[in-house]
Structure 1
């Protein structure tokens, strides 16, 4: 199983940025379970994998994605709608590539126990950008394992690592986000204010979230 085969079977093309992240090993957790267990703190703070600063997001490999499609987000279960999962939450909700109403490839978090979700980002690159902005505004979730200074280090490392993959306009917005004029040095839970975050997100084109009907995972074997 590969992401290329998942894309081909679903009819959903892989975004070029995701292809590059996969090829560069930027969605891997170290060099295997033992390496990750021994060195996860250093890896996380150094943006390995990318979006290590994000709240409740765990990258998955193609085999895991294929299992999710086979057992849950299968067009046969989901009224012919196709999905390509690329990450999960701690509860088993799936971050997926999906076709939008206009035929583009957007990103949705599909809840495992609800009968609907929403396409929340117009593209994969917008999704990555939004995750970085949200992490800069609120990194409280990192404080279970890191000091505020280390959490800032983690977010900054991710912003810099993402610069290799994101388009120029989004990189300019991220540079402005972490400029000395934007950073909040007083807060222990975030690097920027909500106003700065809102201004950063305003560079994205307007996108109205599309609601999507989803059969919950636990009902799929009963259809």
Structure 2
């Protein structure tokens, strides 16, 4: 199954940027399996595919996209998605929620990116288009070093530098320059406030407050983080 075949079968058009990424090999992650992380992942790290190092983001192969689209369109699927809503999955979280292009909300050539939750009747707006989504995910990666898996400062910076090397051409010059400037910073430790006076320790090249400010300044989107029901049965 090719991207063009899926467009014809399901009656939509992919964003031009997604097609460009596919032509450039940025979607070629191979087939996931028990040995993927050991055998395939190391071959991708020097020239990372789309958001390879992003937190909780697993890019779907074209074959996996086709299978996911069939599931979402199945009237017997447990999510009971309203057939009037067109979701085109392209990645997923570790829990099985899908990152999707929301074809039903295409406006002025822009196709929003949403997160389709698998265990609740909600889809969440993430960005007004794929380019802004990629930029926001890269900002988020810079703000949050993976200390849980003990990624060292050197590994963290190397992953980001390699990622910027393959991703910068798909961003606006301003977005790419912002990321390059952030990459030159020293890593800092900061706390993120939580409810009831609690706080959570984080480490990265910018704080959550700076991240929110850059998002609002550079990729403003009035629907960001808003949710809507995807099933009339829910």
Q: Tell me how far apart the structure 2 counterparts of residues 17 and 101 of structure 1 sit (CA, whole Å).
A: 15
Pairwise CA RMSD of aligned residues? Answer: 3.0
Task: Please list the CA deviations of residues 172-193 of structure 1 after superposition, one character each: whole Å capped at 9, or x if unmatched.
Answer: 3323332x3xx23344831223
Q: 2:230 aligns with which of 206, 214, 222?
A: 214
Q: Tell me how far apart the structure 1 counterparts of residues 181 and 59 of structure 2 sit (CA, whole Å).
A: 28
Q: 1:193 aligns with which of 187, 204, 207?
A: 207
The TM-score normalised by the length of structure 1 is 0.80
Partner of 1:135: 141
1:144-159 paired onto structure 2 within 5 Å: 144=149, 146-159=151-164
**Residue 94 (structure 1) aligned with residue 110 (structure 2):** no
1:8-27 paired onto structure 2 within 5 Å: 8-27=8-27
Q: Tell me how far apart the structure 2 counterparts of residues 106 and 159 of structure 1 sit (CA, whole Å).
A: 23
Task: Please list the CA deviations of residues 156-203 of structure 1 after superposition, one character each: whole Å capped at 9, or x if unmatched.
Answer: 22122211222223223323332x3xx233448312233432343221
Q: Is the Cα–Cα contact under 8 Å of residues 48 and 166 in structure 2 kept in the other structure?
A: no
Q: Is the Cα–Cα contact under 8 Å of residues 107 and 120 in structure 1 kept in the other structure?
A: yes
Aligned length: 213
Q: 2:123 aligns with which of 117, 124, 128?
A: 117
Counterpart of 1:163 in 2: which secondary structure?
Answer: helix
Q: Tell me how far apart the structure 1 counterparts of residues 207 and 59 of structure 2 sit (CA, whole Å).
A: 28
User: Is the alpha carbon distance of 1:20 and 1:149 closer, same or farther for their aligned partners in structure 2, counting shifts above 3 Å?
Assistant: same
- Structure 1 alignment gaps of length 5 or more: none
User: Is the alpha carbon distance of 1:163 and 1:156 closer, same or farther for their aligned partners in structure 2, counting shifts above 3 Å?
Assistant: same
Partner of 1:37: 38
1:69-108 paired onto structure 2 within 5 Å: 69-73=69-73, 77-99=81-103, 100=105, 102=107, 104-108=110-114
Aligned-pair distance for 1:31?
Answer: 9.0
Q: Tell me how far apart the structure 1 counterparts of residues 181 and 151 of structure 2 sit (CA, whole Å).
A: 25
